[in-house]
Amino acid sequence: MLRAYIIDNQAVARNLLTTVLNNGGHEVVGDGNHSATNFARMVKLQPQIVCIDIGEPDKDGLALLESVREQLPKALIFLVSAKMDSEIIQAAQSRGVVGFIVKPFNAVAVLMSIRNTILRIAKQAKSQTKLAPDNDVAQAQGESPANSDEALNDGGHQPDGQN
């Protein structure tokens, strides 16, 4: 399915998550700690999914997320942590995190988180692609995209599924 890379300073956690992802049909192409050598290897392998435990959600930990996003702009980044609160979630999302994996691992929850995130992103991309040509036509005809027939007939639904 998808190629994954795991970054966590705890080898036991990396091994458990590797097992969960492999059993779920994903290919774990590498794993390691927060070292510069490991980051370079991850960038070289170009995984589609990065599961990262940043340690403490302080400036240094959040900087790790920014570094991954800069180095792998197309990768889906999942924050792995035992500590999840609204402040951490918001800070992580603002740095490109698309999903969350809670420790201790529950195999079903991990795989569902990844699956649901991929489906949500695919749905958003599809709706943006579907709306883009109509918006171009509406603008070419002098209408604003909000007044185009499709925008008026969509029932008021937001592209990301939130109302």
| pLDDT single digits (tens) 53-73 | 998 777 788 899 999 999 999
Q: How far apart are CA 105 and CA 99, in angstroms?
A: 14
Q: Are residues 142 and 77 in the same domain?
A: no
Question: What's the total number of domains in the chain?
Answer: 2
Q: Are residues 59 and 33 in the same domain?
A: yes
Q: Are residues 136 and 95 in the same domain?
A: no
- pTM for this predicted structure: 0.77
pLDDT on residue 50: 98
> Which structural domain range is residue 77 located in?
3-105
Task: Residue 20: give its domain's CATH number.
Answer: 3.40.50.2300
Q: Are residues 75 and 142 in the same domain?
A: no
Q: Give CA separation, 77 vs 47, 64, 100, 135, in Å.
A: 10, 11, 9, 30
pLDDT on residue 140: 43
pLDDT on residue 133: 55
Q: Are residues 93 and 131 in the same domain?
A: no
DSSP calls for 21-58? HHHTT-EEEEEE-S-HHHHHHHHHH--SEEEE--SS-S
Q: Are residues 77 and 142 in the same domain?
A: no
Take residue 99 and report the two structure tokens written for it: 């999903």
Cβ–Cβ under 8 Å, residues 45 and 5: yes
What are the residue ranges in the chain where pLDDT is below 50?
135-163
Quickly tell me which residue has 């959600």 as its tokens: 57
- Intra-chain end-to-end CA distance of the chain, in Å: 31
Q: Give CA separation, 47 vs 6, 7, 134, 143, 145, in Å.
A: 10, 12, 34, 42, 36
Q: Are residues 89 and 48 in the same domain?
A: yes
